A and B are shown apart, each in its own frame.
Chain A
Amino acid sequence: AQSVTQLGSHVSVSEGALVLLRCNYSSSVPPYLFWYVQYPNQGLQLLLKYTSAATLVKGINGFEAEFKKSETSFHLTKPSAHMSDAAEYFCAGRLGSSNTGKLIFGQGTTLQVKP
């Protein structure tokens, strides 16, 4: 079955520490993968996306993610957390051959940044 799984519903880091948010996918075809961020009472904003051009993808706000086919993973990282990074993060994938543009979302990870 096609799915996107985020490991850890809550992640807490200190300001300046490495941020690592985990995402794994299950897909029968090469996937397109996305990371979105959501601040309170707002919509989802795209951080970055993987579309097979390069396995290491750089996004906005200093975030990046690496596509690893052997591990079926697309983990999100940032070398140094800022207080403003505190938000909900969603990994999503376009995993099948549907032409409707439908995305499958992970459960979300809340990132807490401590001073």
Chain B
Amino acid sequence: ETGVTQTPRHLVMGMTNKKSLKCEQHLGHNAMYWYKQSAKKPLELMFVYSLEERVENNSVPSRFSPECPNSSHLFLHLHTLQPEDSALYLCASSPLGAGGAEQYFGPGTRLTVT
């Protein structure tokens, strides 16, 4: 049990759909992260939230819209995606000012865009 849950675990959506990915952590952390993991590519950091404020946005297209309503929840809203957006989307959390503290990862959402 990692303490970080993600729903749904699998999602198939068309390019015109709108869907949301949800991440929840029960670890008392106040930093949360979205990563994209594509086949044959390194892990890509998409967004960083610290104390519910977005502190990093790594040139992610606007069709991905994150939301952090409180320190326990993180969403990734998806609209008009492209087939190349198909990937495993991972959420993670850590304490703020983490020093030697690790990030805890959820199991991921496998997204397929058709």
Contacts and interface: CB of A to CB of B under 8 A. Distances in A.
Interface of A: 32, 34, 36, 41-46, 49-52, 90, 94, 99-103, 105-108
B108 A43 contact: yes
B100 A49 contact: yes
Given A32-B100, A100-B48, A101-B33, 9 more contacts: A41-B88, A43-B107, A49-B100, A100-B55, A100-B56, A101-B95, A101-B96, A101-B98, A107-B42
A43 B103 contact: no
B90 to A, nearest CB: 6
Given A43-B105, A43-B106, A102 B48 contact: yes
Contact of B42 (A50, A52, A106): A106
Interface of B: 2, 4, 6, 31, 33, 42-43, 45, 48, 50, 55-56, 88, 90, 92, 94-108, 110
A108 B88 contact: no
Given A42-B108, A43-B107, A101 B100 contact: no
Contacts of A101: 31, 33, 48, 50, 94-98, 101, 103
